[in-house]
Chains A and B, each alone.
Chain A
Amino acid sequence: MKRWLAAFSVWLAVLFGGPAFAHEVRPAYLEITQTAPKAYTVIWKLPTMGDVAIHLDPRISNGWLGREPADQYAAAGFLIRTWKITDKRKDPIFGQTITIGGLPDTMTDVYFRVRLLDGRQIDAILRPEQPSYTITSEGRGAFAVPTFLLLGIEHILTGPDHLLFVLGLLLIVRSIRALVKTVSAFTVAHSITLALASFGLITLPIPLLNALIALSILFLAPEVIRAQRGGDSLTIRYPWVVAFAFGLLHGMGFASGLTSLSLDRGALVSALLLFNIGVEIGQLAFIALILGLIRAFRLMEISWPRPLANAPTYAIGILGAFWTMQYTAMLFGVI
């Protein structure tokens, strides 16, 4: 059994190991702001994790971004470049194509926004499957209702750290009532911090946040084992307490999907609401899937071999430990 566990650990680490694995799907952000009739400022925010950044190369067909940036600096979780452009042509933006080099090789989105002096605003989202966008004077309002809803769903369903935490909770709870309480506590907690972090009222350095989220996953694994062996602990008796406490951390993680988008306060409220609903839809879909599978296995009378039956718990523990060490090392600049 010990040998099997060791082999399983190596296998998981090889499969999922990587400096930026644990849910690095924060979007990048490109903004063109017209500051005077012939003057523009371009801002490029690239998500980073310590010293690691996804390789994305923004280009505008008019060649603006081929120049050296006027400024470049690292902010919390982002590398920010700005260009100051003076272009005397009439409407130098319309008809130009934005292309994000390297985007098809990632699972990250790029939010794109143009703000013009006359108050017009053009929004678009570039995705790995569609890394280019041609700016037209009619284009606007891409950040519509389905966008934020889908972003929320995508954010949780592509986040193995959040999903593993929810899976751990599901493996601990023993009744439908406890399940409802636990899921509700997690939802309330992450909604609170999602809102606070999105409005910039609370912040945590990204490596610290990721290390704490990884720690929350690692924390659950021995609790699941204890629950399966009929043991007792605070987590087993009151799983909603743990769900609430760690849900506060996970909410700040969810907020990373919104904070890079420089939304004004009014737009942020509706975006936040829709994003959160999307996260809930994704979370409930995942819970329904797991419960559906548990029911299916029961109906098929499948009796899993012990190593397979314990595999989800070991996956939670191994990946939680791996990510905790990884992000702690990043936090202290070791890697």
Chain B
Amino acid sequence: MKWRAAFGAAALVLLPEAAQAHLVITGMGPVYDGMLHFGLSPEDYLPIVVLAFFSGLRGSSAARMALGGLVVGWLAGGLVAMYVTSVSPELTSVATAMLFLVLGGLLASNFAVSARAVGVAGALLGLVRGLADLAGTAFSVPHTLTLIGMTASGFVVFSLAASLTLPLKRAWLIVAARVSGSWLAALGLLLLGWIVRYGPIVG
């Protein structure tokens, strides 16, 4: 029953698209567009890698929650940006910088938080990046399939990155993973400093 409801919701979103003609011509165009956009956007994949490392260090339950939260958040953010309301790029750039700082700090300190809290962090990250990506100007016609391409890329990158830290037992390897968190936190600080000095990063 739940699956039928979930499918119904997905179909309502996907089927009414005027995407058929584009698909016929380009094959997997919009999906690949989304994947490429993700691959060319460090603001998308860097925090995902750091969140994955962090959740991997917190255990399999945290990794599962974060993965689920990330996917749901990203889809929700993207759909909201496409169909409901467009959030200003200024706001999403500040939120992204804050997330860099917080996620980087969490990993660098290997902060002990519950699996549920890690899941919420994943959902927040997904929501902010989904809103930012689909509200941006990168696509002349934002498309549900583009969103799916992006979300799938995030799903894959998160899974692969989490599988690197999940089995880690040796202390020096864990420290090495945590170093990447400090880099992201530093990047977040730099971004926030830039925003304070010159205003939000847009475009």
Contacts and interface: CB of A to CB of B under 8 A. Distances in A.
Interface of A: 3-4, 7-8, 10-11, 14-21, 23-25, 54-55, 105-107, 158, 160, 289, 292-293, 295-297, 299-302, 305, 307
Most interface-central of B4, B10, B61, B159 (chain A CB within 10 A): B159
A134 to B, nearest CB: 26
A300 B163 contact: yes
Interface stretch (B18-26, B102-110, B120-128): B18-26
12 contacts: A3-B4, A4-B7, A11-B10, A16-B23, A20-B27, A23-B27, A107-B28, A158-B28, A160-B28, A293-B159, A299-B163, A300-B64
Given A299-B162, A300-B67, A289 B7 contact: no
- Counting contact residues on chain B (CB < 8 A from A), the size range is 20 to 34
B7 A8 contact: yes
Interface in B157-175: 159-160, 162-163, 166-167
Contacts of A293: 156, 159-160
Contacts of B167: 299
Given A11-B11, A158-B28, A4 B159 contact: no
Nearest to B160: A292
Contact of B162 (A19, A54, A289, A296): A296
B63 interface: yes
A11 B14 contact: yes
Contacts of A55: 25
B102 to A, nearest CB: 22
B60 interface: yes
Interface in B117-164: 145, 156, 159-160, 162-163
A295 B7 CA distance: 27
Contact of A14 (B15, B32, B60): B15
A7 B27 contact: no
Contacts of A8: 7
A321 B31 CA distance: 22
Contacts, number: 90
Interface in B54-70: 60-61, 63-64, 67
A7 B159 contact: no
B24 A7 contact: no
A18 B4 contact: no
A211 to B, nearest CB: 18
Contacts of B15: 14
A107 B3 contact: no
Contact of B14 (A14, A23, A25): A14
Contacts of A7: 4, 7, 11
B29 interface: yes
Nearest to A7: B7
B7 A106 contact: no
Contact of B3 (A4, A15, A54, A105): A4
Contacts of B23: 15-18, 21
A100 to B, nearest CB: 14
B3 A300 contact: no
Nearest to A303: B64
